[in-house]
Structures are given as C-alpha cells and as structure tokens.
Amino acid sequence: MENKHVPDFVSAEPILTGDLADLQTTALNATANAVVIADLAGTVIWANPAFEQLTGYAQAEIVGQSTRVLNSGRNPTSLYEIMWRTILDGSVWRGELVNRRKDGSLYDEEMTITPIKNSTGKVTHFVAVKQDVTERKRVEERVSQLSQAMENTSEFIAMCDTELTIRYVNPAMQQALGYSEKELVGQRIGFVLSPNNSAQLVEEIDAKTFAGGWRGECLHRRKDGTDLPVLLSTGALKDREGRFCGAFGIARDIKERKSAEQEILLKNTLLEAQAEATIDAILAVDETNKIILSNQQFATLWAVPPEMIRAGDDNKLLQHVIGQVENPQQFQRRVEYLYDHPKEKSTDEVRLKDGRYLDRYSSPLVDSTGKFRGRIWYFRDITERVKAEERLRLWSRVLEQTAEGIFVCDPGEKILLVNSALSS
C-alpha cells in the first residue's frame, strides 16, 4: 500500500472477547501463515509470531506502526489502488506483491485481506493473511525460463512417460520431422526412429535410457519417409523420491555435418591416392600442429617410424627431422617463421648430414572461406640433379682451362659450344 490512505495490514490487541476469542487468538498464534490486523488508517494493532518470522519485526516493534513499513517500492501504484477499492468496499482482496523485511531484504508475498465489519455493517478493521511465496516464485520463474528455452531452441526435445509414450515435443522437433504436436503426442518414442537404425542400436538406446542415459548418432524418420541423421542424447526423469517417472530426448540435426564429413572423406581419399602416386614426400599439418596427412615417400625419405606418424604430433616429428639436416638451426627457424606467417609460401633447398639434397616447398592450407587450416610440405630428393650440376660445372672449368680448341655440335653439325682456346 503505497499512499497514506492505503495502509498495509497488521495488528495488536484481539478484538473479540470471551472463550471463543481466546481460542481464535490461540489458533492465529499457532498458524504457519503470518496474520496481522490493522485499523482503517493502516496502523497495526496485532500480529502473530509467524509475522515476525516472515518480516523480522517482533510484535512489540510493529504494533502502532503503519503497514507501509513493509512497502518495497517494487509494486505498481495500480495494485494498491485496486486493493483499497476492494477492501473499503467490504470485499476480500487476494493478490501477490513484493514486500521488504526489517533487514531490507525483499520477498514475494501472497496476501489475502478480509475487511472486518461491525454490527452496522461498517468496515472497522482489516485482517491480512500473508504467506512467503519467494521460493515458489523462484521455481515458477525457473520453470518459465526452461519452458521458453525448450520452446525456442533449435534442438529437438521430446519427453515421455514411464512407458516411453511421448507427452511433449517442442516446435523444433515438430518442424524438423514434419509432424504436428497432436500427431506425435501419444505415440511411442520409437515412432520417430527410422527403421534403418539397426535393431541392436534401438535396443541399446532403450536400455541405456532406462539405466540413466544414452548419447550417440542415429536416424530419425520424417513424416515424408526420409531419414534425418541426428546426434541424440537421452536421459531418465525421476521424481523427488528418486523413482523413474519418464524419459527425455534431445536431438540435433547433423545432416549438414554428415554431408561435410562424406565430402571430406572423399577428398581425403583422393588426396591420399594422389599423395601416394607422386614422387614427392608430402606432409600436411593442421593449425594445432597435428599431422593430418603424410605419404609413404615422406616416411621413407626421413626414416620416420610408423608409430610417430600414427601419434600425429608434428612437434615430435620436427625434432626427428631436424636431427638429420646439416644446418638444424636454420631449418627450424624457417619452419617457425612459416608457422608464424600462415599466408606465405616458401621454396628452398635442404642438405642432409648424409649428403643428400632436398627441394622443400611449403604452402598454406585454407578452407573454402579462406580461413587458414594448416600447412602442407613437399620434399623431393634432388641429390642426383645436384651432383650432375656439380659435374657439369667441373667439366666446364676443364674445357675453359685446356690449351686445345674444343667444340661440341649436335647431330646436324650445328655448333653448340666452343671453349676459349678455340674462340681466341
């Protein structure tokens, strides 16, 4: 009651007299609900012990005070206006409001106010019965939020009774499967499972749902007869005594993910086939330094144990490789630089301790959106080419330094090369 003409009810001295009045007072003192009596000015004249428990005000503190001390400022003025019109008219008012305790904390209250009339029918006092409904309101709010979440989520939610008969399906599930709520409620949960699921899988879902829960992939069946791949989680519902009272299922459409997986599988199969057919040693690493592809040529070139490839740790593989190169610090610096500059490509030569020479080429791996997903490395043994080039350089020096004139021509007797002695 927010204005000075609108009190908030509580009281002190019992109005009735005699044995009946004593019994009524005893009953009011014993009740679990807070009871307060106020006069027409809203001044408290009596309150029971439950009122002290509810508000923190002892009877001696509240008697003589206006019930406005309980006002929280959180209730609309219209609530008090309707309340006062009702009780001053001699009618009972019932409603909920937010009040403030003595310590300043707020609580939700359900209150019934009953006018007391004298023998002439005039309202002289008010009796208010108050009940703390804070916990109930909290639960109601939580239920409301959960209900909104279930109604608005994109995941499919169904709830069943103890016989696994559907009692609730959310809009997302109805839309995905093409059924109305009326068509699904009352059906056994198996109704939405595709017959293309194996019998063993269905039995496993049922058994583990009753036992506590199941999670995995399966197929739902749409109304049009097509299958929908989903990631399904099920669980058991229990009452307050811990007894099984039903089950729930939460599913997610993974159709696009499954299609992407099939596409990736096909691409990987093709890439692996190409990788094995090439003469290059190939290594592909993702952005987390995990090996995602390597061919046999790579394992052979670097003498990599199969278990190291299977482990998929590029950091350990790098240390294995570095131990074989002639200039390990330079090799590692280049690798680290490229990992720090994901957009760059690189081509260079690497010399190994055993005398071999390798061409090294590296390029970033990007997805269809252009996002960096890793790096691919190509290595080719060019030892013979390097040796041939070295022999050619040696022979060139010999030809240039000999005193005799030498020329080389093709089969058509066209001169291809002459040395300095012949041309001078």
**Over the stretch 350-362, which tens digit does the pLDDT of each residue have?**
999 999 999 999 9
Q: For residue 367, what are the domain limits?
A: 275-381
Q: Within this chain, do residues 171 and 236 fall inside the same structural domain, yes or no?
A: yes
**35-67: pLDDT as tens digits:** 999 999 899 999 999 999 999 999 999 999 999
Q: Within this chain, do residues 293 and 317 fall inside the same structural domain, yes or no?
A: yes
Q: Within this chain, do residues 226 and 185 fall inside the same structural domain, yes or no?
A: yes
Q: Within this chain, do residues 344 and 363 fall inside the same structural domain, yes or no?
A: yes
Q: What's the mean pLDDT when you consider all of the chain?
A: 84
In a domain, 5, yes or no: no
User: What's the structural domain count of the chain?
Assistant: 4
Asked if pLDDT for residue 4 goes beyond 60, the answer is no
In a domain, 391, yes or no: no
* Structural domain ending residue among the three candidates 222, 253, 284: 253
Q: Within this chain, do residues 364 and 401 fall inside the same structural domain, yes or no?
A: no
Confidence of residue 2 (pLDDT cuts 50, 70, 90): very low
In a domain, 204, yes or no: yes
Overall pTM surpassing 0.85 (yes/no): no
In a domain, 7, yes or no: no
Q: Within this chain, do residues 208 and 317 fall inside the same structural domain, yes or no?
A: no
Q: Within this chain, do residues 129 and 151 fall inside the same structural domain, yes or no?
A: no
Confidence of residue 127 (pLDDT cuts 50, 70, 90): very high
In a domain, 375, yes or no: yes
Q: Within this chain, do residues 35 and 116 fall inside the same structural domain, yes or no?
A: yes
Q: Within this chain, do residues 367 and 401 fall inside the same structural domain, yes or no?
A: no
**68-104: pLDDT as tens digits:** 999 999 999 999 999 999 999 999 999 999 999 999 9
In a domain, 360, yes or no: yes
* Structural domain ending residue among the three candidates 190, 222, 253: 253
Question: Helix, strand or coil for residue 154?
Answer: coil
In a domain, 262, yes or no: no
Q: Within this chain, do residues 49 and 111 fall inside the same structural domain, yes or no?
A: yes
* Most confident residue range from 14-23, 156-165, 368-377: 156-165
**262-283: pLDDT as tens digits:** 655 555 555 555 555 566 888 8
Report which of residues 303 and 421 the model is more confident about: 303
Average pLDDT over residues 290-297: 87
**Per-residue pLDDT at 424:** 58
- What would the DSSP string read from start to end of 7-54? ----B-S-S--HHHHHHHHHHHHH-SSEEEEEETT-BEEEE-HHHHHH
* Structural domain ending residue among the three candidates 107, 135, 163: 135
Q: What is the CATH number of the domain that holds 47?
A: 3.30.450.20
Confidence of residue 366 (pLDDT cuts 50, 70, 90): confident
Q: Within this chain, do residues 242 and 290 fall inside the same structural domain, yes or no?
A: no
**Per-residue pLDDT at 11:** 40
Report which of residues 36 and 32 the model is more confident about: 36
Q: Within this chain, do residues 128 and 155 fall inside the same structural domain, yes or no?
A: no
User: Phi/psi at 420 (nearest 5 deg)?
Assistant: -65, -35
Confidence of residue 415 (pLDDT cuts 50, 70, 90): low
**Per-residue pLDDT at 255:** 81
User: How buried is residue 418: exposed, middle or buried, by Cβ count under 10 Å (0-12/13-18/19+)?
Assistant: middle
What is the chain's Cα-based Rg? 43
**Per-residue pLDDT at 182:** 95
**Per-residue pLDDT at 10:** 40
